[in-house]
Structure 1
Amino acid sequence: MSKILIVPGLHGSSPEHWQSWLETKLPGTLRIEQDDWATPHLPRWAGAIRHELDRAKGHVWIIAHSYGCLATALATTGYQNKVAGIMFVAPADPDKFDVASYLAHEKLAFPSVVVASSNDPWMRLTKAAYWADLWGARLINLGNAGHINVDSGFGAWQEGLDIFEQLRKTQSDLPLGTLDPDFRFDAGKKTPATRKSRQFNQRLQANWHRWLYGDEKPVV
C-alpha cells in the first residue's frame, strides 16, 4: 500500500492549514514531525523524512510546503525506487537559508510539480520557475496567492487536492524504478519500461496542458 508523507514548513502546519485538511481527505497520510519546528536545520529535517522513507514498505508520495520542500528535495536523493512523486508547494528560496548547494541541480528521478505564487514573500516566481526547470517539474502559478498558507487564505484547498490526485493518477501505472533520468530519456533503449516511461511523459505533458490551459479536466 502506498503512503503519503505530509512535510510542513517552518513552525509546522496548524489545524487550519491546507496540509491538515488534506490529511482528512487522503487515506494513508503520515505527517513528518521535527524536533524543532522553529529552527530550519536542513540535514536534520531531511533525516526525519528519510527515516519514514526507509520504514515504508511500498512506494511513497510526498506533499511538501515551504522549507519542507527543501528538506524533501535533499531527503529524496537516491530514493528513486521508493518515491513515486512529489508535490512541492510554495518552496522557500534556498538562497535565503544558504542551502542551495545541498539540493539537486538536475532532473529528479520521479515526477514532480511545483505550485508557486507570483507574490510569495519566500520565493520569487522567477526563482520557483528556475528550480522547477532544474528538477524537471511542472510549474503551476496560482497568481497572487502569497505563501499559499493560512494567512493567504488556503485552508480547505480543493484545487491542491485536484493537482495532487492528477499527479498521482497519471503516474499510477508505472512500476517503481523506471524514472531514473539516465534510463528514461535514452532513446536508444527499446525496452518495454522505457517505452512505458516515454508514453507516461507524453501523457503527463498533454494532460497538464489540457488542464492548465484548456477548458476541460485532463483525461486519464
Structure 2
Amino acid sequence: MARCRVLTLPGWQGSGPGHWQSRWEALYPAQVERLEQDDWWWPRRGDWMARLDETVRDAAAHDPGRPVLLAAHSLGCLLVARWAAWAGRHAPVAGALLVAPPDLARDDRPPQLAPWADVARQRLPFPAVLVASEDDPWCVPSRAHALAADWGARRVSAGAAGHLNADSALGDWPAGWALLRTLAPGAVPI
C-alpha cells in the first residue's frame, strides 16, 4: 500500500477538515492528495471528469510503477463511475473506494446537481468497494445495493452512520483505510 498513490475525490461542497478524506490527506501527505476542483458548489460534470482524467493520466505517465487508488465520497463516487464509463478498460487505476454514493434521481436533490442525475451504471474496469450506511439521508440501502451490483463493487455496510462524512464522527476512519488497502495490487482481501 505504501507505494500506491491515493487520490481523494470529495463530493459536492468539498470535504472540510473533520472529514475522513481531509484527515487521510494530513496523516499520509506523501501518499494521499486531494483532487481539487474549480467549483465545489456548482459542479460541472465535464470539468470534473477532465480534471480527474488529467490527474490520473499524469500520475500514470510520470510514475508508471506507482498504482493509483481512488477514495471517493458522495458525488465523487458518481464522478468515478462516469469517468470510468468514458475511459473504459484503459483507465489507469488499480481500484476505487466508493463511499456514500448519493441517489440523485430523487426529487429533492439540489438543483445544481441535476446534471449528475444520469448516473453511469456500467461495470467498473477496476476493483471497487462501495461503503454505504443503513441510514444515509442521501441514499437508501436498496439504491446503494443496486449501484454496487451495477458497478461490480463489493458492498460493505457501515451500519447506521449517516452520510459517512464529518458529521458521522468517523475520525481517521481506520476501517475505511483498511478497505482501501484491500484494493492495492497484491493485497489480500479482508
Classify the TM-score, shorter chain: 0.7 to 0.9
Amino acid of the structure 1 residue aligned with 2:9: V
Tell me, which stretches of 5 or more residues in structure 1 are unaligned?
A: 175-203, 208-217
Are 1:13 and 1:20, in contact at CA under 8 Å, matched by a contact in 2? yes
Q: Gaps spanning 5+ residues in structure 2: where?
A: 107-112
Give 1 or 2: higher helix fraction.
1
Give the aligned partner of residue 114 of structure 1: 130
Superposed, 1:67-106 pairs within 5 Å as 67-77=75-85, 78=87, 80-81=89-90, 82-96=92-106, 97-98=113-114, 99-103=116-120, 105-106=121-122
1:45 equivalent to 2:48? Answer: yes
Instruction: State the structure with more CA Rg.
Output: 1
In structure 1, the partner of 2:69 is 61
4+ long deviations beyond 4 Å: none
**In 1, are the aligned partners of 2:94 and 2:183 still within 8 Å (CA)?**
no
CA distance in structure 2 between the aligned counterparts of 1:95 and 1:41, rounded to whole angstroms: 17
* Cα distance in 1, alignment partners of residues 88 and 69 from structure 2: 12
Taking structure 1 as the reference length, what is the TM-score of the superposition?
0.72
Report if the CA contact (8 A) 1:149-1:155 is conserved.
Answer: no
Shift of the alpha carbon at 1:94? Answer: 3.4
SS in 2 for 1:20: helix
- For residues 119 and 22 of structure 2, the distance between their equivalents in structure 1, rounded to whole angstroms, comes to 28
- Match of 1:38, as an amino acid? W
C-alpha RMSD of the superposition? 2.0
Structure 1: which amino acid aligns with 2:77?
C
* Counterpart position of 1:192: none
Looking at both structures, which has the greater relative contact order when contacts are Cα pairs under 8 Å and sequence separation is at least 6? 2
| Residue-by-residue CA offset, 1:81-138 (whole Å, 9 max, x unaligned) | 41100000001113244435351x2321110010001111111111010010001100
Distance 1:46 1:94 in 2: 18
Residue number among 5, 15, 38 corresponding to 1:3 in the alignment: 5
CA shift, 1:79, in A, is 5.2
Of stretches 9-18 and 111-120 in structure 1, the one that deviates more from structure 2 is 9-18
- With normalisation by structure 2, the TM-score equals 0.82
The one-letter code matched in structure 1 to 2:101 is P
* 1:162 shift after superposition: 1.2
| 1:182 match | none
Q: Sequence identity of aligned pairs in percent?
A: 36
Partner letter of residue 6 of structure 2?
I
1:182-193 matched pairs, under 5 angstroms: none
